[in-house]
Structure 1
Amino acid sequence: MDAGFVEGFEYFAQNAGAQIAANGSAERIVLAEEEIAALAEAIEVLGTNKSVDFLSGDIAEYLLAHTFNIDAILSESENRATVPRVTSFASPDIVLNTGEEFQVKFYADGAKSARAQSVTYREASNNPSTKAGAAHVIAQGDVDPNSPIYKGMGRVIPKDQTADAELFLDRKAAKESVTRKSNARRYVETKENLTEVVEDRRGVASKSFAREESKQIAREAKEGNLNLEDYGISMDQMIKARHILASSIKAGMSAAMIAAVLKAGPLLVSCVEELVATGEVDLDRLQDSGTDLATNSGAAFVTGSISSAIVEAMHSGLLGESAKDLNPSIVASATVVAVNAIRNGVKVAKGEMGNREFADAVVRDTFVSAVALAGGAVGQAALPMVPMIGYLLGSFVGSAVGGITYNAGQSLLMSFAVEKGITFFGIVDQDYELPESTLESLGIEVFEYERFMPDSASIDKFSPDVLRLDPTSVDTYRISFPKRGVIGFGKVGYIDSH
């Protein structure tokens, strides 16, 4: 198999995971920004006809639901909150797709919010606005008239009212436990479910809001000058270090898995072919390949996690406005080149790689990366309905073409250096040391000084001379010219012609 193609494939195996990670992070940021826009639109749709007090309560429902969704998107959770806006008796204000329900009460103080959250069916049946619904439920005989109508729901109140609300509920529970124990349970149940946020069982949570915050948002909405960023609702304020860390680790693991699968495919095919041809598998080669596989997967984990973290930080605005629109594919490719350069730099420091090899590796990765990016762009344009698949297919072709082209160009450059004797500004080392065979043919004794040993003493033995007749011979001469060729990495010199 062509060496250039192999190098291109190895680059693609490491780069593919980073590309998916980077583009996935960019997509999450886009979805979160769309959720912020949906919140602004929902507040606008509520209109300006209601008073600030009533409007602030409605707005609080959307603030809680949409900020929960933003956190879910950034946490890569599938859970979502909706505001059903149903007016039927004891209906929830916010519903999660997990089945969890929440009731929102943003009243004037903690005691009033807690009282509204702990209303019983009996009390509701005495209220003109809820009398019909409560009486209907009680008549069915399925509920205890002294149980709260919002039983089982999360009870959301403003963040600045929790202490007063809990104090109110504790006092009411203590008082009722003396005279009416059955009635005291509703206060205990309400306190157990009291919360400032909409939260699921996996830690995804909305922002919390104070009563005055919701009222001020309502005022600005009525005036038409609401800016959600003033209340901490923007990408650079909503995204947290935990979001970036969690998603980058997950992206790195996915990248490592992709690299392992891509690298293991050719290995498995080779093993099957060897098994069919010889009836056995070279376990030593398989072990060496497994070590390489683990190394490449580790490198893919690093590039995938770093690419994901950088793109999320850039596109969320944490690194400034100028970086928000940077192409995630370019970030991923640059990350792969940088990580490979660091790995090779360590090899140089350990003496496992020369400076010329290091420079060549950096240039090769940069060249293959550029061709892969171009191929990915072509693939994405050819398959716009499946952008990531189209991009990866184009990137694979580009990586292979880049590897083959670079190797061909390098071979051409070395051939030109051999023929013309130039160094290309130090890229090629021109060595003019003659090979040992040429020196020996000239009658020059060659030895390796590291192995030179002095002659050992010996006693000469006497033996009579024997008459010998030397046959006449004609001296013959052979003329040869030393040839030049590639004798090392980036190095041209005289080669042994024998």
Structure 2
Amino acid sequence: MSDGFKDGYEFYVRTAGAQLAALTESARIEAIDREIEKLYREIAELGTNKTVETLSGDIAEFYHADTFNIDAILNDSSNRAYVPRINTFASPDVVLDTGEAFQIKYYADGAKSARAQAVSLEEASRNPHTSSGAIKTLASDGATGSDPIYDGMGRLIPDGQLDEADVFLDQKIVKESVVRPDEVRRYSETKEKLTSTVSDRDGISSKGLSREESKQLARESKEGSLDLANHGISADQLMEAKHIAKASLKAGLSAAAIAALLQAAPSIIESIQELAQEGSIDLGRLQEDGADTVAAGGSAFVTGALTAALTDMAQSGKLGESLVGLPSAVIASATVIAFNALKNGIRMAHGDMDQRSYADAILNDTFIASCALASGMLGQAACPIPALGYMLGSFVGSAVGGLTYQAGKQAFISFSVEHGATFFGLVDQDYELPDPVLSEIGLDVFEYDRFAFEQPALDGFAPSYAEIEMSEGPKPAITLPRRGVIAVGKVGYVL
């Protein structure tokens, strides 16, 4: 694996989880915004010809359905609510895809709202507007006149009316238990099902809506001045700290798993090849690779969690309107670069990295991130599958960026070697002759801390013997020092 490709791959390992976290959270914010736009559109489609009283009740149906859906998005739930808008007898106003149904009554006070929710089949049969449906229901097997017409449904009334409604229902239960025991069930069942929000068994819930606020929404709609943000309906207001924390933890765990898998992939492939060729695996190497995998997963957890939180806060508007349109990929890349810069800065402070190596690492990350970002955008445009196209494009861009940076770096250093350029201090031109060069030109070289006096020794005697000397002509040996790279960002003399 070439150094350039290795750098690109290692950068992708560090950023893949963060990029996926950013894309996921960006998609979640977009889904919330779509639900808010949907609520705007549905309210507008109700028209302005209705009275405020009638319009407020219709608005409440869509309000509860859409805010339920927003809460489901915020809590990663697949459950959804919809408004059927059918006028058959005792039809529900809001239905969940889990099968739960809700009837909505928005009356002047809690007692009136509770009374409307507890209407019996007998009472409905005496009402000209509902008599036909009630009579048909009574004709079916098992139905009695005391049964509530909304039997089994959730009974939703305005926020703030529950206490008054409970008092009314309790009074009716006590009274009817003495006078007409058969009527007790409909009041008891209504009280049991009474609620001020649409909710499911998983705890997903709509936003409460008071009667006065529903009327205010109706008035603003009729006047054409409706702004849901003034009523607490915006991504910024609906996304709470608990939602961000939950998403960050999930994103961090996913990022760690992705980084660990990508980090281990080359080692696994190499081990398979080694096993096939030699029949054994180097366990020592596997142990070292395992430590690298754990380290990569730990770093990815931090960057993934931070990226998810920053994406949520920036694109929801919690960090100001100017950052709402900031691309999620930019947030992810900036987070990873900043985290790596911080990590390398700590190493430099401890003396494990010099300043030029630190600067080179930042430039390397920034250049590869730019290539990955551009290639990811192209990949997403070419592949319509959400996230997949960007992740594939980002991988290609990271590899190309690593190779390009290394090639550019070599050209940059070569120019510095040939022309002595420093590029405003980015390259250190060292003109001190190294020890081998000094020795080559005949100068004695020694180090003070290693200097030692010669030890005296007795001369030994040996008889002389004849030796025929062979004469050879002189062989000139000339070694010229040249300029070359002696450290990261440093040019000096080499032999």
Name the counterpart of 2:230: 230
> Within 5 Å, which residues of 2 pair with 1:160-171?
160-171=160-171
> Within 5 Å, which residues of 2 pair with 1:408-447?
408-440=407-439, 442=442, 444-447=444-447
Where 1:390 maps in the other structure, the secondary structure is: helix
Distance 1:358 1:21 in 2: 27
Deviation, structure 1 residue 468: 4.7
Name the counterpart of 1:31: 31
Name the counterpart of 1:395: 394
The letter of the residue matching 1:210 is S
Deviation, structure 1 residue 97: 0.9
Where 1:485 maps in the other structure, the secondary structure is: strand
Distance 2:401 2:336 in 1: 15
Distance 2:385 2:49 in 1: 45
Name the counterpart of 2:202: 202
Deviation, structure 1 residue 76: 2.7
Q: Which runs of 5+ in 1 are unaligned?
A: none
> Within 5 Å, which residues of 2 pair with 1:14-413?
14-143=14-143, 145-178=145-178, 180-181=180-181, 183-383=183-383, 385-386=384-385, 388-413=387-412
Deviation, structure 1 residue 438: 4.1
State which drifts further: 355-364 or 229-238: 229-238
Where 1:486 maps in the other structure, the secondary structure is: strand
Distance 2:453 2:103 in 1: 99
The letter of the residue matching 2:309 is A
Distance 1:453 1:345 in 2: 41
The letter of the residue matching 1:404 is L
Deviation, structure 1 residue 61: 0.8
The letter of the residue matching 2:411 is L
The letter of the residue matching 1:313 is M
For residues 266-310 of structure 1, the C-alpha deviation after alignment (integer angstroms, 9 at most, x for no partner) is: 222111101101111111211221221222222222222222222
Where 2:492 maps in the other structure, the secondary structure is: strand
Distance 2:221 2:461 in 1: 125
Contact conserved, 1:440 with 1:446, CA < 8 A, in 2? no
Q: CA 1:194 to 1:434, structure 2 compared with 1: closer, same or farther past 3 Å?
A: same
Where 1:218 maps in the other structure, the secondary structure is: helix
Q: Which runs of 5+ in 2 are unaligned?
A: none
The letter of the residue matching 2:492 is G
Q: CA 1:434 to 1:464, structure 2 compared with 1: closer, same or farther past 3 Å?
A: closer
State which drifts further: 278-287 or 296-305: 296-305
Q: CA 1:404 to 1:111, structure 2 compared with 1: closer, same or farther past 3 Å?
A: same
For residues 151-196 of structure 1, the C-alpha deviation after alignment (integer angstroms, 9 at most, x for no partner) is: 3322211112111111212222233345555533433332232211
State which drifts further: 300-309 or 105-114: 300-309
Deviation, structure 1 residue 447: 4.4
State which drifts further: 142-151 or 39-48: 142-151
Distance 2:198 2:438 in 1: 86
Contact conserved, 1:439 with 1:446, CA < 8 A, in 2? no
Distance 1:300 1:359 in 2: 22
Name the counterpart of 2:492: 493
Deviation, structure 1 residue 244: 2.3
Deviation, structure 1 residue 452: 6.1
State which drifts further: 91-100 or 477-486: 477-486
Q: CA 1:216 to 1:406, structure 2 compared with 1: closer, same or farther past 3 Å?
A: same
Q: CA 1:357 to 1:153, structure 2 compared with 1: closer, same or farther past 3 Å?
A: same
Number of aligned residues? 491
Where 2:169 maps in the other structure, the secondary structure is: helix
Deviation, structure 1 residue 363: 0.5
Contact conserved, 2:17 with 2:255, CA < 8 A, in 1? yes
The letter of the residue matching 2:393 is G
Q: Percent identity?
A: 51
Where 2:113 maps in the other structure, the secondary structure is: helix
For residues 22-62 of structure 1, the C-alpha deviation after alignment (integer angstroms, 9 at most, x for no partner) is: 22322222222222222122122222333222221111111
Q: CA 1:465 to 1:246, structure 2 compared with 1: closer, same or farther past 3 Å?
A: closer
For residues 294-332 of structure 1, the C-alpha deviation after alignment (integer angstroms, 9 at most, x for no partner) is: 222222222222222222222222222222222222222
Deviation, structure 1 residue 368: 0.8
With structure 1 as the length reference, what TM-score do the two structures score?
Answer: 0.90
Q: CA 1:275 to 1:112, structure 2 compared with 1: closer, same or farther past 3 Å?
A: same
Deviation, structure 1 residue 395: 2.0
With structure 2 as the length reference, what TM-score do the two structures score?
Answer: 0.90
Distance 1:203 1:171 in 2: 30
Distance 1:470 1:374 in 2: 81
The letter of the residue matching 2:398 is S
Distance 2:369 2:258 in 1: 18
Q: CA 1:141 to 1:429, structure 2 compared with 1: closer, same or farther past 3 Å?
A: same
Q: CA 1:465 to 1:227, structure 2 compared with 1: closer, same or farther past 3 Å?
A: closer
Where 1:244 maps in the other structure, the secondary structure is: helix
Contact conserved, 2:344 with 2:353, CA < 8 A, in 1? yes
CA RMSD in angstroms comes to: 2.8
For residues 457-491 of structure 1, the C-alpha deviation after alignment (integer angstroms, 9 at most, x for no partner) is: x8x77x88556579779896744333443222223
